[in-house]
Structure 1
Amino acid sequence: MRSGDAGTDGSGDGLHGRAEERSLALHREVARRLVEDPAVVARARERVRGWLADDSAARGWAAVWLEELDRPVSEIASLLCDPGPRARALRQCSPFAGVLGPRERWTVLRRARAEGGLAPPEERR
């Protein structure tokens, strides 16, 4: 079984498993960016504070993310790369949206597919 298939890590298979694989690949790149530019964390904190201020649907995740964003950059980067269930849940409502531009996202996803981390849909069935 592949890592995104049912029974291995709880993320399921099919579209949900592929979405998690994409999210993990993108957040790995964000983690690299954090180490290079810690200001990314400051922008994430601002976003989380915005969730609290505007009473958005993400408000439930805000307290959790504020706590995580107070950790050292290396720990935040590790969290973003963690394939476990807690990190997977946190990535579903990430304050790091927008860190990567559209071209960067495409490059990351294409690289992950080339390295075997993302199978095209027809190969996952």
Structure 2
Amino acid sequence: MKVSDVLTRERRRAGVTQSELSRLTGVSRPLVSSYEHDRNSPSVEQMSRLLLPLGVELSARPVMTRVDRRSLGFALRVVDHLWTDPERTLDVARRQLARQRDRATINELPWLDVWDSILGLPVGVICGVLADEGQFARDLRQSSPMSVVLDESERLEVIRETR
């Protein structure tokens, strides 16, 4: 879908005229019109400024790679274990974290510190971190001490699902 179509659709959905949008945003009416008629293209900042008063927030989320989908799949399986047997799952993860710390590089230590803090949180919060699709959570999962909770059949199932 083109930027011009999105802007026009959202402005009309909100019941706002080009003149009103101009007044709300400080963007001239002729410029709003040129964006809607695809004669000019707004910058991301300008598009965000135009959409916000219409109740639309412009955001971008990086596309998940196969590695990201797979690590999320593993994490979601760990969530199941956390809900069914939190004590055992956290104990296994803490022991794994200690092993990881013993052989960690200087660059890995901050991530392990974050995991150490996370493992002290309530189970529901830990599950939320594991299931998060944001970039920080994606990066965090790359050093997760949680994957050892899964058995071989669970790992293979996730691998098959994320091919």
Q: TM-score, normalised by structure 2?
A: 0.56
Where in structure 2 are the equivalents of 1:20-99 lying within 5 Å?
A: 20-38=68-86, 39-52=88-101, 54-57=102-105, 58-99=108-149
Partner of 1:18 in structure 2? 66
Q: 1:85 to 1:11 in 2, by over 3 A?
A: same
What CA distance in whole angstroms lies between the structure 2 residues aligned with 1:49 and 1:107? Answer: 27
| Structure 2 gap segments, 5+ residues each | 1-58
Structure 1 unaligned spans of 5+? 1-6, 121-125
The secondary structure found in structure 2 opposite 1:47 is helix
- Percent identity of equivalent pairs: 33
Pairwise CA distance, 1:10: 2.1
C-alpha spacing 1:108/1:60, structure 2 compared with 1 (3 Å):
same
* TM-score between both structures, scaled by the size of structure 1: 0.70
Deviation at 1:108, TM superposition (A): 3.3
Tell me by how many angstroms 1:67 deviates: 0.5
C-alpha distance in structure 1 between counterparts of 2:96 and 2:127, whole Å = 17
**Larger radius of gyration between Structure 1 and Structure 2:** 2
Rounded Cα–Cα distance in structure 1 between residues aligned with 2:69 and 2:93: 22
Aligned residues: 102
**Relative CO higher for 1 or 2, CA cutoff 8 Å, sep ≥ 6?**
1
Q: Aligned partners of 1:61, 1:25: CA distance in 2, in Å?
A: 20
Does the aligned pair in 2 maintain the 1:49–1:62 contact within 8 Å? Answer: no
Q: State the one-letter code of the partner of 1:45.
A: R
- Contact kept, 8 Å, 1:26 with 1:108, in 2: the verdict is yes
CA offset at residue 11 of structure 1? 4.8
Asked whether the 8 Å contact 1:27–1:81 carries over to 2, the reply is: yes
